[in-house]
Amino acid sequence: MAQIPPPSSARNDSDDPQRDAGEDPSLDFSLRAAEQGSEADWNDWVDGGADEREAASAKADNGRAATTSVLGDSGFTNPVLANSVLANSALANSALANPALVNPALVNPALVNPAILADTASGRLPESPLPLVETAFLASTTSLLWLINSYFPLGPIWRICFPIPIALVYLRWNRRAAWMTTAVSVLLLTVFTGPARSLFFLMPSGLLGMLLGFCWRRGAGWGMSIFLGTLINTIGFFFRVALTSVLLNEDLWIYVTTQVTKLLAWVSVRLGLLFQPDLTLVQLLALVLVLINSVIYLLAVHLAAWFLLKRMGIKVPDPPEWIQVLLELDVED
């Protein structure tokens, strides 16, 4: 390395006009130290200072990288405060390596994302975004199935699939994720079809998916889940009838009782019975028919979900023995 002459040897005190005038200018500490040192000490300082500056530069780069990784999620952009955080980069690195060694009181909450700090202090890693991704995907799938059934109805085929995505989210994650799936599906259907149709989805399909996920996750048998699902589906039927009657300003229950009366008349003619059914009997028979329809629907939903979820590796309760014998199902233990 070329020798750099020290400032003290490169000039003479008599050449400085300020010194000749008797003035004593204020010099910084580094300049006074350089003037007081010898030429050999100056050259040694120049040679050794290059290595020290390189090491200091590398350490500063590492500190900036650590601080960027800690503060990236909080939107921290103030360069003045960033320099103060760089001085504490060793603490940030130790926090990421071993959360148990960090005292939360020593970290300024204004400089660190509070969520990351809380997870680090408790020893927990930040939550995975996978539940949120699956929630959004299955919510859009549910809404798409509802839209397809609205414009291209294929009988009860699509209706069987309505509660399964919500129950799948409940089984794979938790109740909160299942409620999020239901809420997002309702919001999407509200945007695409209006609030009335979104309420038709929520009651009963949305609540039915929550119920099935709750029962299957706790290992409830098919009898219990079908019984509770039948009640929800029946209540949903009357809810749709009442809401539609309000929207159309017409009592649709009269239409239901009329159809049931015609069914009773047809059965009585076939059996050779001559009687006039009263209104109470007609309404009771209508309720029984709704319950039977709900039981058949819930049984079909259970079978479809069992076949689908079994191939996905998700454990759900096995069907009763009489269903296994009737359908010749191969249930693996």
- Six-digit token pair at 31? 């300049």
Digitized pLDDT (tens) for each residue of the chain, 333 residues in all: 444 454 444 444 444 444 444 444 444 444 454 455 555 555 555 555 556 667 666 766 665 555 454 444 444 444 444 444 444 444 444 444 444 444 544 445 444 455 444 544 444 444 678 888 999 999 999 999 998 888 888 777 888 999 999 999 999 988 999 999 999 999 999 999 889 889 999 989 999 999 999 999 998 889 999 999 999 999 999 999 999 999 999 989 999 999 999 988 888 888 888 778 888 889 999 999 999 999 999 999 999 999 999 888 888 888 888 888 888 777 765
Asked if 169 and 138 touch (Cβ cutoff 8 Å), the reply is: yes
The pLDDT value recorded for residue 290 is 94
Local structure of residue 163 (DSSP, 8 states): S
Asked if 101 and 59 touch (Cβ cutoff 8 Å), the reply is: no
The pLDDT value recorded for residue 35 is 52
- Six-digit token pair at 271? 């059996």
Distances (CA, A) of 326 to 228, 308, 323: 23, 19, 5
Closest listed residue to residue 285, CA positions, set 255, 254, 261, 265: 261
- Residue showing tokens 């329809």: 293
The pLDDT value recorded for residue 66 is 52
Q: Residue by residue, what is the 3-state secondary structure of 90-107?
A: HHHHHHHHCHHHCCHHHC
The pLDDT value recorded for residue 74 is 42
Q: Is 169 exposed, middle or buried (0-12, 13-18, 19+ CB in 10 A)?
A: buried
Q: How far apart are CA 102 and CA 113, in angstroms?
A: 15
Helices 89-97 + 79-86 axis angle, to 10: 70
Helices 89-97 + 39-71 axis angle, to 10: 50
Q: Which residue type, as a one-letter code, is found at position 279?
A: L
The pLDDT value recorded for residue 84 is 46
pTM score above 0.85: no
